[in-house]
Amino acid sequence: MTDRNQTLFERAKTLIPGGVNSPVRAFKAVGGTPRFVQRAQGAYFWDANDQRYIDYIGSWGPMILGHGHPAVLEAVQKAALDGFSFGAPTEREIELAEEIVKLVPSIEMVRLVSSGTEAGMSAIRLARGATGRKKIIKFEGCYHGHADALLVKAGSGLATFGNPTSAGVPPEVVQDTLVLEYNNVEQLEAAFAEHGAATACLMIEPIAGNMNFVRASVPFMTRCRELCTQHGALLVFDEVMTGCRVGLASAQGHYASLIPGFEPDMTVLGKVIGGGMPLAAFGGKRAVMEQLAPLGAVYQAGTLSGNPVATACGLATLRELQQPGFYEALSARTQSLVAGLTEAAHAAGIPFCGDSQGGMFGFFFFDQLPQNYATVMTTDGARFNKFYHGMLERGIYFAPALYEAGFVSSAHSAADIEATVAAAREVFAQL
């Protein structure tokens, strides 16, 4: 039998760098041939060989209702008939803004854009413009899109300014980006003591999903908030992944339930709020957001921003999420997956642990949950890769790298979870 995935990959590689339009799709971390997706429905997709997979990436988060949800499909089809893009305002942009402001109470005003990268980059520009300061703080292992100033890793030594992680980013572009260790309160305090007065914002993934799954501890998050307030820096939550994924009020709602009165100053959203269409947003307090053009001096724009088909898709998705009991059911299913995998691994004598919040999860071949990027990268990668391919052969599609989170949708049934755990039991027995 010819492997059409392989044929397509070879053809793609002659035209598209690495054969893919976003690097993680190329399977470089795990090796082997990427699956070219033909179609998807509910919790499944089918590859170019017509092999079915239970999908645990859901487009890296957006497909929280599963693929082809009838209400979303209908909204998108209807919107498409009315026109693809106008370059003039539409009522649906207001409706989507109203939904976002209602779901995420720290957001008073919001601007719609087309990707998480664009939203994060714009949020940084706005934070710098609003504070008149240059420096930004980020954490190792957090991903905020591929804007130049954010493609940076820690320099040598504690609390030094970073080095570019990509060719083509001049060192001077990242010289104002300070990269700290996630969950390290001491380092955070030292950084603010030295640079607090020059810091425009601290940007953080509150539950980091780009180093698998690592929660900000409550003491760490509390200090992030206190230090930003004390030094007049803006606390920017990058909730592109966690927004409406870990709960209706997003990760900030979760932290507000643990830290009384907790709120970030600005929030970056994407993924779920677009329901699978190119749509993202950034928002925050009115006084900050009003610094944006055309009202203020901070320039930001987009030909396709607030696209009518994308906003229809996002709105229909956000409305479905507000059905009573939606997140309770999603959380329970996700927890049963993580518990099932953990139990199966332990039964085979394999060090393993996992965690989840809402419909987002992570697991590690490691005996305890890592608290930062360096620890994530010490977990057993060789074992992960063997597990990954064993599961893939059995029709289970996890994220193809040990430093990525996974996602469960409302379309995943108890039977899908059981089938996944049964497959894992077979694979663990061979590791």
Ligand X SMILES: *Cc1c(COP(=O)(O)O)cnc(C)c1O
Catalytic positions are: 143, 238, 271
Q: Which of 139, 143, 352, 363 binds ligand X (CB under 6 A)?
A: 143
Among 69, 92, 144, 195, contact with ligand X (rule: CB under 6 A): 144
Tokens 């040990």 locate to 402
Choice from 116, 275, 362, 390 touching ligand X (CB under 6 A): 116
User: In sequence order, what are the residues at sequence separation of 6 or more whose Cβ sits closer than 8 angstroms to the Cβ of residue 426?
Assistant: 390, 394
Q: Which of 272, 261, 270 is nearest to 317 (CA)?
A: 272
Nearer to ligand X, 267 or 335 (CB): 267
CB of 230 to ligand X, least distance (A): 26
Question: Quick one: 120 or 370, whose CB is closer to ligand X?
Answer: 120
Candidate list 210, 252, 409, 410; residue touching ligand X; CB under 6 A: 210
Radius of gyration, alpha carbons of the chain: 21
Stretch of 83-91, 143-151, 196-204, 215-223 contacting ligand X, by CB under 6 A: 143-151
Rounded least distance, CB 370 to ligand X, Å? 17
User: Least distance to ligand X from the beta carbon of 243, Å?
Assistant: 9
Burial grade of 16 (CB within 10 A; 0-12, 13-18, 19 or more): exposed
Pick from 47, 93, 99, 238 the residue near ligand X by CB under 6 A: 238
Give the residue among 139, 184, 140, 178 at the shortest CA–CA distance from 161: 178
The Cα 116–Cα 282 span in angstroms is 9
By beta-carbon proximity to ligand X, the closer residue of 120 and 340 is 120
Task: Confirm or reject binding of residue 337 to ligand X (CB under 6 A).
Answer: no
Q: Facing residues of 180 across strands? A: 139
Cis, peptide link before residue 219, omega less than 30° from 0: no
Cite the DSSP H helix spans in 259-397.
Answer: 286-289, 308-321, 326-347, 373-376, 381-393
Report 265-294 residues binding ligand X (CB under 6 A). Answer: 270, 280
Residues 240-269 that bind ligand X (CB under 6 A): 240-241
Q: Which stretch binds ligand X (CB under 6 A): 190-198, 236-244, 245-253, 414-422?
A: 236-244
Closest among 232, 52, 36, 251 to 142, alpha carbons compared = 251
**Nearer of residues 270 and 275 to ligand X, judged by Cβ:** 270
Pairing state of beta strands 396-397 and 52-55?
A: parallel
Secondary structure of 361-388 in the HEC alphabet? EEEECCCCCCCCHHHHCCCCHHHHHHHH
Q: 203: which residues sit within 8 A by CB, 6+ positions away?
A: 120, 123, 124, 136, 137, 138, 142, 144, 150, 236, 238, 268
Does position 120 bind ligand X by CB under 6 A? yes
Among 90, 115, 336, 409, binds ligand X (CB under 6 A): 115
CA dihedral 322, 92, 360, 125 (to 10 degrees): -130
Q: Please work out, in degrees rounded to the nearest 5, the angle formed at the alpha carbon of residue 64 by the alpha carbons of 59 and 66.
A: 80
Count of residues binding ligand X (CB under 6 A)? 15
Choices 67-75, 114-122, 194-202, 371-379 (CB under 6 A): range interacting with ligand X? 114-122
Q: Given candidates 58, 141, 209, 314, which one binds ligand X under the rule CB under 6 A?
A: 209
Name residues whose C-beta falls within 8 Å of residue 73's C-beta, 6 or more positions apart in sequence: none
Residue indicated by tokens 């939904």: 99
Question: Least distance to ligand X from the beta carbon of 347, Å?
Answer: 33
Among 140, 176, 181, 205, binds ligand X (CB under 6 A): 205
Contact pattern from residue 74 through residue 113 relative to ligand X, giving x for each residue in contact according to CB under 6 A and a dash for the rest: ----------------------------------------
Structure tokens at 240: 């592109």
Examine residue 117 and tell whether it contacts ligand X (CB under 6 A). Answer: yes
129 contributes a contact to ligand X by CB under 6 A: no
**Contact range with ligand X by CB under 6 A, out of 95-103, 115-123, 189-197, 341-349:** 115-123
Could you tell me which stretch among 23-31, 104-112, 203-211, 307-315 binds ligand X (CB under 6 A)?
203-211
Binding site for ligand X (CB under 6 A): 115-117, 120, 143-145, 205, 209-210, 238, 240-241, 270, 280
